[in-house]
Structure 1
Amino acid sequence: MRALEASKRLSRALFTFNPSYWRSLPSLLPSPDCHRSTADSNGGTCLLRSPWSVSQHRGVKVNASHVRPGNVIEKTGKFYQVIEAQHKQRGRGGAMMQMELRDVDTGNKISLRFGTEEAVERVFVQEKPFTCLYTESDIAFLIDSETFEQLEVALDLFGKASAYLKEGMKVSLELFDGRPLSARMPKRVTCTIKEIHVSTKGPTVTPRYQRAVLDNGVTVLVPSYLEIGEEIFINPEDDSYIGRAK
């Protein structure tokens, strides 16, 4: 009866995200040695003792046409992160989805095709907030904003936006089975103009934009009325100017 009650409470918690359910779960869960998954047979954590592990190994069936880059899908017992998903027409053969996938375990990339209506198991991932402590070489050192646990991740997870990563910046990671899959930065970061490159070619009319070198070494286009030393907001995803910071 206790196992049945725990199962009901867990199901409600997973889909309502009511904090009171999570707080009451530990008192209902069975001992650590019960109901271990096959993957836990070598001493792993019992799924029932980790509500997130339960939800993370759950998924939802969706049509392949609904899969988006960044999603994690399961196929023949293996997990893949979707790098790219393109809708293609095969003439009389109907439409299909061409996907570039990355094996979560090995990092190897493969390309697979799915029918647009083909059922795909999309796995839930966890998004958690972190704070950047510092960067060194090609590694970012982060700290969990909730548990204060430190984590090292490759700067590649942030893509070209990693150039804007600074000490104390709030970021978020998408985790699968405790492993970081992707990282996101704020859509607006503060930078300082260190240099301005004024073009000496072309018409004498003052241009609307000028090239500016920021304190992180990135060159961007900014309005011509801005000067060296000014702080500005930049979108790190495309290096676009947003506005003055002050």
Structure 2
Amino acid sequence: MASTADIKNGVVLSIDGQLWSVVEFQHVKPGKGGAFVRTKLKNVVTGKVVDRTYNAGAKVDIQNIDRRDFTYLYNDGEGFVFMDQTDYDQLTMSAEQVGDAKNFLLENQPVTIALHDGNPLYIDLPASVILEITYTEPGLQGDRSSAGTKPATVETGYEIQVPLFLETGTKVKVDTRTGDYLGREK
């Protein structure tokens, strides 16, 4: 068991059987009373964020999370298959575990997977990925009724909003956190 002095950003705590990642922490020493640690925690599975306060010196259960590099291979219909880049072992994750990351996964794409006791928790994608537009309506010159954007489907099947001048076959950079169009790729 560790104490609150060991809390840092990115550390994973086990609270009531669930894993919580420390997003922010602050050691507070008021003029009156004992010191305490104020934390903002994010559930590693659900993404829920909560604030929690601990007395200074309180015991906390810090968990060891292993982040390893994998390569996305394919979706076999039942799950997403990844290959460990160090020992070439394959790992299958369900669609629920992959979550919204499935909208940005391309075959042979490197990803980082967080593991706890050999069980996958979540996928860390790069901040942006380059995807090709597979279908979009032709943009009409002077059509500004839709604020200059139109829907476009990228090669993963995900639909994003892009400027009117983009055409099918254009490669675009997409933000993996929000799904927003960031620009054309040359």
TM-score, structure 2 normalization: 0.70
1:203-243 residue CA offsets vs partner (Å, 9 max, x unmatched):
95474322212222211111222111111111222111122
Q: Is the counterpart of residue 193 in structure 1 residue 133 in structure 2?
A: yes
SS of the residue corresponding to residue 61 of structure 2 reads strand
Q: Sort the Cα spacing of 1:63 and 1:158 in 2 relative to 1 into closer, same or farther, 3 A.
A: farther
Aligned counterparts of 2:98 and 2:62: Cα–Cα separation in 1 = 23
Q: Is the counterpart of residue 227 in structure 1 residue 167 in structure 2?
A: yes
Aligned-residue CA RMSD in angstroms?
3.8
Q: Which amino acid aligns with 1:196?
A: T
Following TM superposition, by how much is the alpha carbon of 1:139 offset from its aligned partner in structure 2, in angstroms?
Answer: 1.0
Number of equivalent positions: 171
| Higher gyration radius (CA) | 1
Q: Which amino acid aligns with 2:3?
A: K
Q: Sort the Cα spacing of 1:194 and 1:205 in 2 relative to 1 into closer, same or farther, 3 A.
A: same
User: Could you tell me which residue of structure 1 aligns to residue 101 of structure 2?
Assistant: 161
1:177-210 residue CA offsets vs partner (Å, 9 max, x unmatched):
222122112222221212224799xx95474322
Question: Is this contact kept in 2: 1:231–1:245, CA < 8 A?
Answer: yes
1:91-134 residue CA offsets vs partner (Å, 9 max, x unmatched):
xxx997686758x9xx9xxx996536554232231110001111
The one of the two structures with greater contact order (alpha-carbon pairs below 8 A, sep at least 6) is: 2
* 1:85-124 mapped onto 2 (5 Å cutoff): 114-115=53-54, 117=56, 118-124=58-64
Following TM superposition, by how much is the alpha carbon of 1:86 offset from its aligned partner in structure 2, in angstroms?
Answer: 9.7
Following TM superposition, by how much is the alpha carbon of 1:148 offset from its aligned partner in structure 2, in angstroms?
Answer: 0.8
More strand by share: 2
User: Could you tell me which residue of structure 1 aligns to residue 115 of structure 2?
Assistant: 175
Aligned counterparts of 2:129 and 2:165: Cα–Cα separation in 1 = 20
Q: Sort the Cα spacing of 1:67 and 1:193 in 2 relative to 1 into closer, same or farther, 3 A.
A: same
Q: Is the counterpart of residue 244 in structure 1 residue 184 in structure 2?
A: yes
SS of the residue corresponding to residue 161 of structure 1 reads helix
Q: Sort the Cα spacing of 1:115 and 1:164 in 2 relative to 1 into closer, same or farther, 3 A.
A: same
1:144-189 residue CA offsets vs partner (Å, 9 max, x unmatched):
1011111112232332121221210101111122221221122222
User: Could you tell me which residue of structure 1 aligns to residue 80 of structure 2?
Assistant: 140
Following TM superposition, by how much is the alpha carbon of 1:142 offset from its aligned partner in structure 2, in angstroms?
Answer: 0.9
1:50-94 residue CA offsets vs partner (Å, 9 max, x unmatched):
xxxxxxxxx753369x576x753245xx7531179899xxxxxx9
User: Could you tell me which residue of structure 1 aligns to residue 4 of structure 2?
Assistant: 62
User: Could you tell me which residue of structure 1 aligns to residue 19 of structure 2?
Assistant: 81
Aligned counterparts of 1:73 and 1:160: Cα–Cα separation in 2 = 24
TM-score, structure 1 normalization: 0.55
| Unaligned ranges ≥5, structure 1 | 1-58, 88-93
SS of the residue corresponding to residue 242 of structure 1 reads strand
| Unaligned ranges ≥5, structure 2 | 26-35
* 1:12-91 mapped onto 2 (5 Å cutoff): 60-62=2-4, 71-74=11-14, 80-82=18-20
